[in-house]
Structure 1
Amino acid sequence: MFSVIFPGQGSQLVGMGKDLHAKYSLVQDLFKEADETLGFSLSNLILNGPKEELDLTENTQPAIFLLSYSIFKLIKEEFKIDLDKAKFYAGHSLGEYSALTAAGSLSFSDTLKILKIRGNAMQNSVPKGVGGMVAVLGSEIEIIKKIIDENKDKYECFIANDNSVGQIVLSGKIEDLEKIMVDLKASNIKNIKLPVSAPFHCKLMNNATLVMKEEIAKLNFNEPKNILISNVTGKEISNSNELKELLVKQIESSVRWRESVLLMIEKGVTEFIEIGPGKVLSGLIKRIDKNVKVSAINSEEDIKLININE
């Protein structure tokens, strides 16, 4: 039994998908449709940069989705591999939008437009230089929760991502993150400031939540063909109404990726197929359970190696 999973922000790279775009008209057509939908050349930004512009959240989010969805369609339509047989579809943060589009819940053009809005709203929710994120390595979530709770009077920090065993990401204002980094270091807990300009997945994103609540209400969601796993709950999403609510909550909620993966494994999944740039999720899953099979698919060679065990 297998699951199809899609990466989130941080997996982008100038030139990603260049070989697939050069060879397959299906990919070219999707890139062209994206440019027409958004009213600017996202495809040129993906293929040629500059990196600084691709790394802007409002561009990164639709860019990663575009490549992920292009590879997904290529696997299904050009290589005739039936990904509809997947037990679950899931994605990390913006990857959840790739998952729900692949499952037929939202149209390609609507997803591009909402991710452009989402990226812009998240980037502008907090003034640049005010907030940030810190990766905490080699510790357990309960230990980090305890440190945050015991120091509420000193600083306000939030668990943004529970990514895997030994990898947690914190969000907050820079001044608060700097204080918790001192406490983490004193407890011999390794931590690294991340190169992001906003404190994602915490209550500081409230302005973005208000924007997304309004925008998501305008969209037409179909019932997904495959079972989706929510970042917010780490559990199955029961219907499209619940999906809309969870996508709004997702902006300020922790990404419960470790719990999502454990649930899928518990439900019988033995193989994960990561579709999109990079192989971040593959690495996280291997840390969660080294016994499952994981494949990162972002080139023609990768696609040819897909061998699904149903």
Structure 2
Amino acid sequence: MFLLRSICKKNYHRCLSTLASKKSALVFPGQGAQYIGMAKDLYIEYNVAKDLIDEAEEILDFNLKSIMFDGPLQLLTLTENTQPAILCHSIAVLRVLETEYGINVSDFNCALGHSLGEYFSDAVKLVRLRGKSMQESIVEGETCMRALVIDGDHLEDIANLINEIKNDLPEGEVAEIANINSRRQIVLSGTNTGVSYVNSIINTRGFAGRAVGLPVSAPFHCSLMRAAQLKMRPLLEKTNFNSPIIPVISNVTAKPYSKNPSEIRDLLCQQITKTVQWQKSVSDGVKNGIEDWVVCGPSQVLSNLLKREHPKGNILSISSYKDLELIKKLN
């Protein structure tokens, strides 16, 4: 059984942990984690990462790695490019862990993906089509996604408030909860006017403070994505799904998928417009004994969220060649 070390914020090492004695989860990030230069070091240093990204380019028939490595950011942020880029980065990390460290997916007790991260198998073509469908769903008007920092224990208050006022929005304006990331953070998705209006009322009630716009090109996980949902349903119906090797937690239900392929397709389709239940997924994992969380993919966004929500957990974020070399040295 392989060894993992938790990475401390300051000195990059803490206690030794083994997946033989502790429950562990494999975690994959979603949109917002992208950055210029993502996975370039992995592509250079590891043949398995190079082969995977080159294969994705061949499947998609466009120069994905040029966008990942060199940008520009505006092009990378287009969801039809962001989604396959993040998927490739995440799976490249996983492939390196498998080939260089002997890590197997079956060593983990469960897997979680945040939004896009839920598509963590060989699905780059499907993810590209998902991104294009989402981008094409927005035909007019200004849209946004905005993360809100919740003040105090007001998660349920905010959800109830949005249900109360959503019918008061002017025709065509939308503001819905796209992500419940933690007890202290949610993401609103919809039209600029709708989100600003709801945000202002939440602030007036004293339920939330700072709000930050997210670097995305469409308002994901809200009713504005219904057109994308309709486009994706027949594509998902044509896709063969194998039974999960380990339990995979659904964003929609925060529960493991069954082994029924039709349920997997249905929930992945629902996920396009439904709220991502990340907070419940993580809290249920903690209740079920998950202590080690291994985050595979770009940036530290998701691992930092896990650290704030679950400070006693062992959270290992693996994004770069540097991260992988640190693990090698510590072992």
| 1:128 shift after superposition | 5.0
Alpha-carbon separation, structure 2, partners of 1:194 and 1:129: 17
Alpha-carbon separation, structure 1, partners of 2:212 and 2:251: 23
CA-to-aligned-CA distance 1:258-289 (integer Å, 9 cap, x gap): 11111111121101000000111111112222
What is the aligned partner in structure 2 of residue 126 from structure 1? 138
Give the alignment partner of residue 31 of structure 1, picking from 41, 53, 67.
Answer: 53
- Which amino acid counterpart does residue 237 of structure 1 have in structure 2? Y
Contact 2:79 2:218 in 1 (8 A): no
- Number of aligned pairs? 297
Give the alignment partner of residue 78 of structure 2, picking from 52, 56, 77.
Answer: 56
CA-to-aligned-CA distance 1:198-233 (integer Å, 9 cap, x gap): 221011110000011011011111111111000000
Q: Is the counterpart of residue 289 in structure 1 residue 301 in structure 2?
A: no
Q: Is the counterpart of residue 215 in structure 1 residue 215 in structure 2?
A: no
Contact 1:165 1:287 in 2 (8 A): no
| 1:146 shift after superposition | 2.3
What is the aligned partner in structure 2 of residue 152 from structure 1? 166
- SS of the residue 2:139 aligns to: coil
| 1:299 shift after superposition | 2.0
Alpha-carbon separation, structure 1, partners of 2:75 and 2:229: 24
Q: State which drifts further: 142-151 or 242-251.
A: 142-151
- SS of the residue 1:152 aligns to: helix
Structure 2 length as normaliser, TM-score?
0.85
Gaps of 5+ in 2: 1-22
Contact 1:129 1:197 in 2 (8 A): no
- SS of the residue 2:147 aligns to: strand
Contact 2:29 2:296 in 1 (8 A): yes
Q: How does 1:39-188 map to 2 (within 5 A)?
A: 39-98=61-120, 101=121, 108=122, 111-127=123-139, 129-139=141-151, 140-155=154-169, 156-188=174-206
CA-to-aligned-CA distance 1:66-95 (integer Å, 9 cap, x gap): 111011011011222334210001100000
- SS of the residue 1:120 aligns to: helix
CA-to-aligned-CA distance 1:128-173 (integer Å, 9 cap, x gap): 5432222111243211112212323422521110001210011122
Gaps of 5+ in 1: 102-107
What is the aligned partner in structure 2 of residue 263 from structure 1? 284
RMSD (Å), alpha carbons: 1.6
Alpha-carbon separation, structure 1, partners of 2:149 and 2:161: 15
- SS of the residue 1:77 aligns to: helix
- Which amino acid counterpart does residue 171 of structure 1 have in structure 2? S
Structure 1 residue ranges (4+ consecutive) displaced by more than 6 angstroms after TM superposition: none
CA-to-aligned-CA distance 1:224-247 (integer Å, 9 cap, x gap): 111100000001111132111100
Identity score, percent: 39
Q: State which drifts further: 159-168 or 293-302.
A: 293-302
| 1:122 shift after superposition | 0.8
- Which amino acid counterpart does residue 30 of structure 1 have in structure 2? L
